[in-house]
Amino acid sequence: MSILTIQQQSIIKNTFLPKISQNRLPLVHVLTSITDNDEQKIEPFQFGRTIKFFQDPHTSHLVDRRVHLCHKLYRHHKNGYVLKDLHNLMKMLNILADLCQQQALFIDPFINILKNCSKPFLLDKATDAEIYSSALISFYADFGYLLRIQNKRIQQCILETLYKSIQSTNKSSIAEDNYDGLRPTPINYLLRTQCNSDLCETLVKALSMVENELSLRIDIIKLLQIYSSKSSNCVARMLTHDCINRLVSRMNEPDPSGELLFRTIDLLWNLLEYGTDEQICDQLNSRVTISLLKEAFFGQITQSHGQYHRQLRNDILVVCSLIFNINPNAPVIETGFAKQLLLFASYPELRSNSPLVKNFKLTTCDEDFEFKKLLFNTVVILNRNPMMHELVINSRIILAFLSYIEPLPRKKDPQRNTFEWKISQFEDLQLHALVTLSILLPYSLNEYFEYGVGTRLLVFYEWTINNEEYKSEGNSFFAKGGRNNKRSQLKYIFRLFRSLVSTKDERIYIDLCDQGIIPSIAGYLRIMTQQTSIHIDHVDLDIICDGLFILSCLGELDVHRKEIFGSEGIEMLIQILSIECPYVCGGLGYHRLLVAAIDCVWCCVVGSVINEDEFIQKQGVFALLDLIETNPKSLQNIILGCVLDLTENTKCLHFIMAWQGRKQEYITHVLCELWRDEERETYVTRTDKGVISDHTKPLMGLLQQSVPLTSLKRFEPSRSVLDLIDNMRSKIYGFFCKLGFSELPGLHEEDYITICIIENFLDFKMGEIWQEIITELDMEGVKLIAHDNEATDTILRATEERALAVVATQNYILEQYHKYDLQIEKEFYNELIKNHAFQEKRLEQWKSFVARTSKYPLLMVAKDSQNQAIRQSRPEEKDYSGYHTVHNLEIPNISITAFTGPFLKIESTPVEILNRK
C-alpha cells in the first residue's frame, strides 16, 4: 500500500469525526523521507560484546571480523574516548597488544586506536573528572606498560600519543558543541593525572629497553622533560630508579640532530633543581658520571663556532655547577675536570700552552660572555672543596681575576692580549671578579703578598672614591643601584677588604694600615654620612656597614690603630649614631647600621684614652644613651655593654649622671625599668610592689626553673651562668657598681625597691650557683665531708638570710613611703581647710561691705570703730601746747571707711558671683 492511499483513507475517516475547536489542535506527525545529506544516528559501541568476542577462543580464526571491529572502534571514537569507558578501553588495548605480538595484521588497527588516545577524553557529566580521576591514573600507568611490545612502530605511537595528549596545541578540529552532548577534558587535567601516575617510572625503566633506538630514546626524554618541570613528585620517583645514570650513560652517543644531548641536559637540570640532595649525591658520586659530563662539555667546546653549540656548552656548565654545589665531594679533581675548568676560567687573561685552549677563541657575543661568568661562578663553587685550595693556587687563577681590578675605562696596553671585552661586559666581569676574589683570597694569603694584592686593591679603592666622573652601565646583577656612578665598585671592594680582615691575619692588618686605609675609610664614611643623611639606600647601607666592620677589625687589638682612627672617625660615628630610623632604607636597615656603629665604637674608641675623652666631650655618650630608650631589647643589651666599658673612664660618669631622656628621666630610673622588664620576661616572682616573694629563689624566674638540672660536662655552663648571658641584669649591676647605690637622682618609690635587689645581685647569684653545685653533687652520688657540708650549709643559709634582710629593707622603704604619703595627704587636707576658712572670711567681709554701703548708720558705726582702731594703734600723744600750730591729720566729713590716698580701690561684686550659673 502506498503512502498516498493511506493518506486518502485517513481523510475519509476524518470526515465523520466531530469538529475540533481551534484551541485543541491535534498533534500530527509529518512523515518525511531521509535524504542523503542527513547523518544517521550512530549506535553506541558495545565494549562488553567486543571484549567477549575477542576473548572467546572459538572466534580466534575470525581474523577479518576482529580487524573490522578494531576499525569500527577507531571510527566510533574518532573524537576521543569517553572517560567512563576507561576500564573497558584498557582491557581492549591489552588484548590487542597480545594479538599484535602474534599476528602483524593487528598492528595498524592497534596503532589507529592508540592515536585516538592522544585526543582529550570526553566527560559525560561535570563531575566525571573527579569521579574517574583514580581510574584515569590507573589507565595511564597501564598505558605506559604497553611499551613492553617489542615493536618500534607501536612504541613510537605510544610515546607520540602521550606527548600530543598534554600539548596545548592538541585541540580537535570540530566545534565543542558537536561532541554529542559530551565535553572534552582540559589539557592541564590530563597532565596532572599523568604526573600522579606511575608513567614517569615506566618511562625511566624503558630507557634501558630502547638503548639502541635513538628516536625512541629522544621521545622518552621529551616526556620526562615535561613531567620533571611540572611535578617534584615525578622527579623523586625518577631518581628512585637511577634516572641520572641512565641518562648520562648514553648522552654522548652519535646524534646528527644533536637533540639527544640537548634534551638530556635540560632533563638533568630539572632533576638537579627539584630533586633531593641525598638521592642526587648517591647517583653522582661516580667517576664515570663526571667523566661523561666532562666529555660532553669539551665536545661542545671544540664545536663552539655556532650559537647552538655555545648555548649547549653553557647549559652543560650550569648542570655541572649544580652538581658541584649539591655534592662538593664529587670526583671532579680525580677526573681532571677541575683543573681543566680552572684553565678555561683563566683564559685569555693568562697565557697557556695547553692544547685545550690553543684553538679556543672567545668573542664578545652573549653566549661567550655568559660562559665566562659561569666559569667564575663554577670556580667559587669548586672552592668549597678543601682539596681545591692547592689546585687554585697552582693554577694562578687569582692573578687572572686581579687583572680585572683596575680603574675604568681601561687603558689599552699593546703587550696585553688582543682580545678585549666591551666596556659594559668588562664592568660586569670586574664586579664578578671582585666577588670571586672575596671568596678565594682568604684561602690564599701567601698569594696576597706574592701578587701585591693590597696595593692593587687600594689603588682601585682610591679610584672609586675620587671625584673623577664615570658613567657606569649598571646592567648586571652585581651592579644594582650603581648606574652612572661607581657605587657598585665601591661596595664590592669594601666586601673584598672585609673578607681579608676577617681572616685576622696580622700581616694583612699591617700591610693595609701602613698604606693608610684607616684614615681613608673613616674620612670617606664621614663625608658619605653627611651627604646621605637624608636617605640611605641598600647600597649605601652595605658600604657603610662593611666600612665600619673593616675599621672595627683593624682597631680592635691595637691602641696605635685606635689613635689613627682619630677625631675624624669619632665624628663619623657620632653622625651615624644620630641618624634616625626612617632615613635608613625606610627603617628596614636601621638595626644593622646601629650594630655596626656600636661595634666600631667598642673596637676603635673603647681602650684608647684619647679617643674616649674626645668621644665623651663630643657627647657621644649622650647619643648612645638616647638609643637605649628607642630600641628593642636585643640592641639595648649591646648598647649597655658598650657604655659600661666606657665607664672605665671616670669622665664618662659625670655625663651619664647628667643625661636625661625624652621624658626627663635619669639613667638610674631607666636602668631600674630595664631590670623590671627583664624580670617580667623571665617570670621572676615578685609582689605587686616589686618585693621579693620567694626568698629561696630571689633571682630565678619560671623560665630558668623550667630548664631541668642535669649533670654537666666539663667547662659546660650551668643554667645560672647562662642566665647571665641571656639578659641585661649583670650589665645593670655593673652600672650601679660604677654609679653607686645611694644618693642617686631621679629615683621613684619602685626604683628604691629594685635597687635593693640590684645591690645584692652578686650574692644572690653566687647562692644560686652553690645550690646548683650541691644538687649536681647529690645527683652524682657524691657525699661531702663534714667541714664541706658545714661550709655549704653556711653559704645557703647566708643567702637566705640576705634575701630576708632585703625583703625587710624593701618593706621598710614601702612603709616609709606610705607614711610620707599620709603626711603629704594630711598637709594637703590642711590646705583645703585653710582655703575654705579664707573663703568664709571673704564672704563675711563682703556681707559687711554690702551692709555698710546700703545703710548709713552702719557706715558711721564702722567709721567710728575704724577711728578707734586707729587711735589705739597710735602711740601716746605728745603735749603740743608748746607749739604754735598743730595740724589735724584727718580729713573731716569723709563718708568712706577706706584709707585715703592718691589711689582708691573700689570693691564691687566679684565676677565669679555674677557669672555663676
Q: What are the tens digits of pLDDT across the range 399-439?
A: 999 999 999 887 766 565 557 888 889 999 999 999 999 99
Rounded mean pLDDT, 131-137: 92
Q: Out of 163-167, 177-181, 228-232, 626-630, pick the least confident.
A: 177-181
Question: Do residues 524 and 577 both lie within one domain?
Answer: yes
Rounded mean pLDDT, 548-557: 94
Name the region of 504 (left: φ>0; alpha: ψ -120 to 50; beta: rest). left
User: Does pLDDT of 371 surpass 50?
Assistant: yes
Q: What are the tens digits of pLDDT across the range 783-799?
A: 888 898 899 899 999 99
In a domain, residue 649? The reply is: no
Could you tell me what percent of the chain has a pLDDT over 70?
88
Check residue 17 and give its pLDDT.
41
In a domain, residue 51? The reply is: no
Task: Report how far residue 279's alpha carbon sits from residue 285's, in angstroms, rounded to the nearest whole number.
Answer: 10
Q: Residue 419: what residue type?
A: F
Could you tell me what percent of the chain has a pLDDT over 90?
51
Q: 122 - beta bridge partners?
A: 82, 184
Cβ-Cβ contacts under 8 Å for 433 (sequence gap 6 or more): 376, 401, 402, 404, 405
Task: Report how far residue 129's alpha carbon sits from residue 136's, in angstroms, rounded to the nearest whole number.
Answer: 9
In a domain, residue 293? The reply is: yes
Check residue 798 and give its pLDDT.
92
Q: Report the run of H or E that residue 538 belongs to, with start and end.
A: helix 538-555
Question: Do residues 607 and 715 both lie within one domain?
Answer: no
Q: What are the tens digits of pLDDT across the range 513-524?
A: 999 999 999 999
C-alpha cell at 343: 684553565
Q: What are the tens digits of pLDDT across the range 90-101?
A: 999 999 998 888
Domain count, the chain: 3
In which band, very low, low, confident or very high, does the pLDDT at 674 lie, cut at 50, 70 and 90?
Answer: very high
Question: Do residues 575 and 486 both lie within one domain?
Answer: yes
Check residue 563 and give its pLDDT.
93
Question: Do residues 351 and 460 both lie within one domain?
Answer: no
Q: Residue 343: what residue type?
A: L
Q: Which of 110, 166, 101, 168 is nearest to 140 (CA)?
A: 166
Does residue 83 contact residue 132 with C-beta atoms inside 8 Å? yes
User: Does pLDDT of 449 surpass 80?
Assistant: yes
Query: With b meaning 16 or more CB within 10 Å and e meaning fewer, what string describes 880-909?
Result: eeeeeeeeeeeeeeeeebeeeeeeeeeeee
Task: Report how far residue 238's alpha carbon sits from residue 276's, in angstroms, rounded to the nearest whole number.
Answer: 11
User: In residues, how long is the chain?
Assistant: 917
C-alpha cell at 591: 638595626
Q: Out of 43-52, 338-347, 555-564, 840-849, pick the least confident.
A: 43-52
Question: Do residues 549 and 488 both lie within one domain?
Answer: yes
Check residue 7 and give its pLDDT.
40
In the 8-state DSSP scheme, what is residue 84? G
Check residue 51 and give its pLDDT.
85
Task: Report how far residue 532's alpha carbon sits from residue 677's, in angstroms, rounded to the nearest whole number.
Answer: 36
- Give the residue from 830, 860, 892 where a domain finishes: 830
Check residue 881 and give its pLDDT.
64
In which band, very low, low, confident or very high, does the pLDDT at 137 lie, cut at 50, 70 and 90?
Answer: very high
Question: Do residues 375 and 448 both lie within one domain?
Answer: no
Higher pLDDT, 262 or 302: 262
Cβ-Cβ contacts under 8 Å for 183 (sequence gap 6 or more): 122, 123, 126, 176
In which band, very low, low, confident or very high, does the pLDDT at 874 lie, cut at 50, 70 and 90?
Answer: confident
Question: Do residues 549 and 490 both lie within one domain?
Answer: yes
Does residue 371 contact residue 420 with C-beta atoms inside 8 Å? no
In a domain, residue 910? The reply is: no
Question: Do residues 425 and 328 both lie within one domain?
Answer: no
Question: Do residues 606 and 468 both lie within one domain?
Answer: yes
Tell me the range of 34-43, 384-393, 478-487, 694-703 where mean pLDDT is highest. Answer: 384-393
Question: Do residues 814 and 765 both lie within one domain?
Answer: yes
C-alpha cell at 251: 648522552
In a domain, residue 432? The reply is: yes
Rounded mean pLDDT, 141-162: 93
Check residue 886 and give its pLDDT.
61
- Give the residue from 395, 428, 459 where a domain finishes: 395
Rounded mean pLDDT, 446-453: 92
CB neighbour class for 714 (10 Å; exposed up to 12, middle 13-18, buried from 19): exposed
Q: What are the tens digits of pLDDT across the range 756-778?
A: 999 999 999 999 889 888 888 88
Check residue 889 and give its pLDDT.
65
Rounded mean pLDDT, 449-468: 93
Task: Report how far residue 897's alpha carbon sits from residue 152's, in angstroms, rounded to the nearest whole number.
Answer: 138
Question: Do residues 388 and 426 both lie within one domain?
Answer: no
User: Does pLDDT of 872 surpass 60?
Assistant: yes
CA-to-CA separations, 50 to 54, 58, 341, 512, in angstroms, rounded: 6, 14, 64, 90
Query: Which spans in 83-166 are helix H?
Result: 86-102, 107-116, 128-131, 133-145, 152-165
Q: Out of 37-46, 226-235, 313-322, 883-892, pick the least confident.
A: 37-46
Does residue 352 contact residue 343 with C-beta atoms inside 8 Å? yes
Query: With b meaning 16 or more CB within 10 Å and e meaning fewer, what string describes 543-577?
Result: bbbbbbbbbbbbbbebeebbebbbebbbbbbbbbb
CB neighbour class for 665 (10 Å; exposed up to 12, middle 13-18, buried from 19): middle
Q: What are the tens digits of pLDDT across the range 287-319?
A: 999 999 999 999 898 886 788 999 999 999 999
Higher pLDDT, 594 or 710: 594
Does residue 182 contact residue 82 with C-beta atoms inside 8 Å? yes
Q: What are the tens digits of pLDDT across the range 2-31?
A: 443 434 444 334 444 444 444 454 544 444
In a domain, residue 138? The reply is: no
In a domain, residue 500? The reply is: yes
Count the helices and strands in the chain (H runs, E runs): 44, 2
Check residue 564 and give its pLDDT.
94
Residue 98, classed as helix, strand or coil, is helix
Phi and psi torsions of 562, nearest 5°: -60, -40
Check residue 416 and give its pLDDT.
58
User: Does pLDDT of 367 surpass 70?
Assistant: yes
Question: Do residues 612 and 546 both lie within one domain?
Answer: yes
- Give the residue from 561, 590, 625 where a domain finishes: 625
Residue 9, classed as helix, strand or coil, is helix
DSSP string for 350-372: S----HHHHS----SSHHHHHHH
Higher pLDDT, 484 or 687: 687
Check residue 138 and give its pLDDT.
93
Higher pLDDT, 804 or 63: 804
Task: Report how far residue 254's alpha carbon sits from residue 251's, in angstroms, rounded to the nearest whole number.
Answer: 9
In a domain, residue 266? The reply is: no
Check residue 16 and give its pLDDT.
40
Domain hosting residue 380, numbered range: 285-395
Task: Report how far residue 303's alpha carbon sits from residue 299's, in angstroms, rounded to the nearest whole number.
Answer: 7
Average pLDDT over the chain, rounded to an integer: 86
